[in-house]
Structure 1
């Protein structure tokens, strides 16, 4: 398969660190930063799952700048105190009180799954949370329980509305996990923008220019200068384009619409914050918390025609899609979740790739917290 032939070449400048060591390092760093050990284990599991699946934007690359730095700044609570605001038969509303989003997400999806076992469907929403890692982690919590999982979250404003240039909506993933009779579930985990900040950070670490059409400025022109874009996205001088791209001709209004759906479901059900209230800065441009909202839905197919029936049909649909006629020059059709499965198969043998920029971050955290780690990449 051409995809896997090119895979290792893509990471040729990286060091490779095993799953267990990398996860343990992240957990210990979080504990040193003030996160209770049980919560650090949850967070570490979410982060390493990202690196296992090849989602390099949301694993070790997010440990320091998104989590530890924000704890240091006092805008994120390392101890997550979850309050149950309302708990009904099939629904619940939680308040995370500015705690760790991964912990809030894990406990919310656990609740949704338990409710779905009894009632067929369960939905739990969260307010006053923080970045919760890859949305697909929570969707696959449901698939592992033999259920369908759906989740979404709002985020700091990044996307410009169609026909606009101001960053108003977050990258707002709308994520589905569906069990199949194959070795991996169908997991669609992607932003409602053409790309998201984490992927731009990956380009920045690699010193690469952005593809045209990902980002636009206040003149409505596309931007490709990666490092300046990262700064300008924070200050509002640049914005991401919604799925479909710039304008209506290529369907940008569709991504804009889906991003708005996620924004509403992440704020209106839980009486939470939205859009500009998630900027992370006050009027004097001082850093403040990002009171994000999430939603989690679990659906038990046993309350319909049964799990086996669902898995068989879902798997058959995926196989028929992959067996359809190829475009010239292509050798394979992927269904959602398959590339992540292939990445896991490769990485469980080789480890997770760590580029030079993240190697420096790991050394910095190790030295700061006086942790007992040494890596082969330091010997070069």
Structure 2
């Protein structure tokens, strides 16, 4: 039986270009301009290509519900709130986080190209998908890229049991001359998306992932979602998520994690904040020399003999690059539930999906 990119569900393999075209059609039907619809579709499909299905096309159903309920603005107009030579703060007008983060990354690269480094904050935004997409985009310009975001409360302060902190994602991307090193992570042991998938599948979660609302460890995903996620590295993960929240919700003039609205409360604006950072390598040393050195380090690390039970040693981003390469060849493995939700959304919006789109009875099982 064929499995999806989450390794659990039956799936249909769809060519990446066809999937991106279908998502663009749906986003345009939801009111987005063509260019912005393509940008969002590209970020979502890229997540699925890399095996990060929790941040991929799976999210489109929720985005559509948010637009229809009035909690997300499909025609947002981003404005500049503050600006100097090496920084800016943008107001996203309650629009798509992907568009706000992409525009911020563009501005970070432009300003870093003039001044050596740039820090672009965003407030009044929303869920933006995979943080690594934007850091990697910056790295593609011979710069080191960083991306941070805050989120609605999922974690408690270390030792506590009340949700007060977002599982605030962050990413760093470093060019190598080949595929970049991309560290892309949130700060819990497991994401809420993975726990939500376990709840949908009717399965349990491992011990140590979450506490219930009374502060007790639980393997029940529903209790975990109403309780708190546990940070990786105990107090260390808690400290990192705290810092990420301050760099985004506070520094940008946005709102603190406890005031960010969960993405599934569809009728309310989320008020998410982001921070995009670009550092021009050539201000430190020739960019090509830097990339050659980093590439040698990456090759050396990959040659490390694996421990027992481990097939290979990677640097951050390797597995995502491998999965992307395979999916570009064989198609994006889209989970059945997600595939059907795209068809349902097309019916609801009264649009046709592009030529070549598989029918439901063509599911691979």
Q: TM-score, normalised by structure 2?
A: 0.92
Q: What is the 5 A alignment of 1:175-254?
A: 175-181=171-177, 183-226=178-221, 228-229=222-223, 233=225, 237-244=226-233, 252-254=234-236
Superposed CA deviations along residues 229-259 of structure 1, whole A, max 9, x for unmatched, are 4xx63xxx31111112xxxxxxx10000000
Query: Retained in 2: the 8 A contact 1:280–1:289?
Result: no
Q: Identify if the C-alpha distance between structure 1 residues 207 and 357 changes in structure 2 by more than 3 Å, giving closer, same or farther.
A: farther
Q: CA deviation at 1:207?
A: 4.1
Q: CA deviation at 1:371?
A: 2.5
Q: Identify if the C-alpha distance between structure 1 residues 359 and 312 changes in structure 2 by more than 3 Å, giving closer, same or farther.
A: same
Is 1:98 the equivalent of 2:94? yes
The equivalent residue for 2:330 is 350
1:241 and 1:159 map into 2 onto residues whose CA distance is 6
Match of 1:27 among 24, 29, 49: 24
Match of 1:170 among 166, 171, 189: 166
How many residues are treated as equivalent by the alignment? 357
2:7 and 2:170 map into 1 onto residues whose CA distance is 28
The equivalent residue for 2:37 is 40
Superposed CA deviations along residues 70-96 of structure 1, whole A, max 9, x for unmatched, are 111111111121110111101111111
Q: Identify if the C-alpha distance between structure 1 residues 379 and 325 changes in structure 2 by more than 3 Å, giving closer, same or farther.
A: closer
Q: What is the 5 A alignment of 1:1-380?
A: 10=7, 13-65=10-62, 67-181=63-177, 183-226=178-221, 228-229=222-223, 233=225, 237-244=226-233, 252-280=234-262, 287-373=267-353, 374-379=357-362
Q: Identify if the C-alpha distance between structure 1 residues 279 and 11 changes in structure 2 by more than 3 Å, giving closer, same or farther.
A: closer
Query: Retained in 2: the 8 A contact 1:161–1:242?
Result: no
Higher relative contact order (CA 8 A, sep 6+): 2
Q: CA deviation at 1:357?
A: 1.5
Could you tell me which runs of 5 or more consecutive residues in structure 1 were left unpaired when the two chains were aligned. Answer: 1-5, 245-251
Range with greater deviation from structure 2 (152-161 or 8-17): 8-17
**Cα RMSD, aligned residues only:** 2.1
Could you tell me which runs of 5 or more consecutive residues in structure 2 were left unpaired when the two chains were aligned. Answer: none
Q: TM-score, normalised by structure 1?
A: 0.89
